[in-house]
Amino acid sequence: METEVKERNVEESRGNKRFTETPPDDDCCPICFGSFTVPCRSNCGHWYCGSCILQFWNYSSASMPCKCPMCACKIVNLMPEASLQQQQDQDVTQVLKSVQRYNLLFVGGALGYIQKLRQLPFFMKKIFQGLMDPDANDTYIAEMRLFAMVLSIIYRATPFDFLPTGGVGIGRVFDFSAITLVLILRLVGIYRRRRLMRRVRQVATVEILQEGT
């Protein structure tokens, strides 16, 4: 009995330490390894810079919450340090607004769906940017195909019939169009990456020649 009580006290003390109101003084952001700027605590208890964890989410799926880099738990809520609400700094305010938008997107339920619909232009922009990234994963392809399926359902529900399907079916037409668009955007991304690398090499060559003279 005493052993169980001790173990419970240890777990409670760990939980209290883990879910502190402020980040530990001797700790740093696990993403940038620097001092915390606009520190935010995830729902799993880990602290990050607000801008760092949001940037980390930018490299993941647009419609899904990012996974905690420390424990792989889905982050559905970011809680900024309470003292940040009193600051008037423009950069801090901007990060807090982005954190609030992130929380609203993944709050769940009807409110979460409403927020996702309101942020649809943001989602589409993020998806297109991800499709042009040669290093992006394939989750965006599934999202584009899902979007194509929704468009085909809307098209069937309307009285308009202006797209030639040729017996293939409107669903497959939209699906093939989505896959073709994904391939085109990926090729555009590869081309842009090569142009950027070529420009970087040219700048490096010029700098080396200038140092040699």
For 97-136, the pLDDT digits (tens) are 889 888 887 776 666 667 667 767 776 777 777 777 776 6
Is the full-model pTM beyond 0.75?
no
How confident is the model over 165-177, as pLDDT tens digits? 666 677 777 777 8
Q: What is the pLDDT of residues 10-34, one digit of tens each?
A: 344 444 444 567 888 778 999 999 9
Indicate whether 53 pLDDT > 90: yes
- Bridge partners (DSSP) of residue 42 are 78
Please, which residues bridge with residue 74 across strands? 67
CA atoms within 13 A on the CB side of 185: 21
pLDDT digits (tens, 9 = 90+) for 70-103: 998 999 899 998 887 777 778 888 899 889 888 8
- Per the prediction, the chain carries an average pLDDT of 76
**Domain 16-109: assigned CATH number:** 3.30.40.10
Q: What is the pLDDT of residues 137-149, one digit of tens each?
A: 555 666 677 777 7
* Domain range summary for the chain, segments of one domain joined by +: 16-109, 119-212
Do 48 and 102 form a contact (C-beta atoms < 8 A)? no
